[in-house]
Amino acid sequence: MAATATATATATLPVAPVMKEEIPASQLWNSNRTRTTRGKADELYLGYERWLPAAPKVKKPRSIYNAASLAYLGDGIYELYARRHFLFPPKSIDVYNERVMAIVRCEAQDALLKKLMNEDYLTEEERDILRWGKNIASGKTRTKKRAGMQVYSRASSLETLIGFLYLTDVKRLEDLMRRLGFSAGAPPPDHIMEEVGSQRPE
């Protein structure tokens, strides 16, 4: 009887999952992040095609959110790209903060938006989102005073567009951010600040 019970208990035990061998982070950094499939290059980050958290499914963000809400979201997404960009090669926390702070300032965002506009890269819908986001009212008087109302408004419009694309088209967002220079395989990070002509904070 005991033998039968033991056999039954053993038979019902779940099969242990086969664990894949973990890859050290250093190996991921040094691995080839670009693979070619049928002549097309797929950008990978740490071996994965997707690195942003999945966005909620929203078909028409403008019917649900106002421009300020999308700019608030876009601000966080933009900073996430900036932090990822400057993460490698490894630096001290102070250097990370210095570089990220320089590129998330509205003056830098304004310069990057001008770069996009000069290249005639944006679609008509995206330009419409920029116009919508440009009219955001905000109480950030210190930032407005430092950079000026026009610079602040243009920076807000870029954040609005980033928030909109995050909710509607992540691939387009990734392409836009790569065009601005935020990419795992981009040239040395300092090139962004050189392009926009922004000065690092004192």
Q: Which residues are known to be catalytic? A: 75
The CA distance from 117 to 106, in Å, is 16
Longest dimension (CA), the chain: 85
Task: Check: CB of residue 101 under 8 Å from CB of residue 147.
Answer: no
The alpha-helical segments, DSSP class H, found in 65-148 are: 67-86, 93-104, 106-118, 124-133, 141-147
**Sign, Cα dihedral of 72, 134, 120, 60:** positive
75 three-state secondary structure: helix
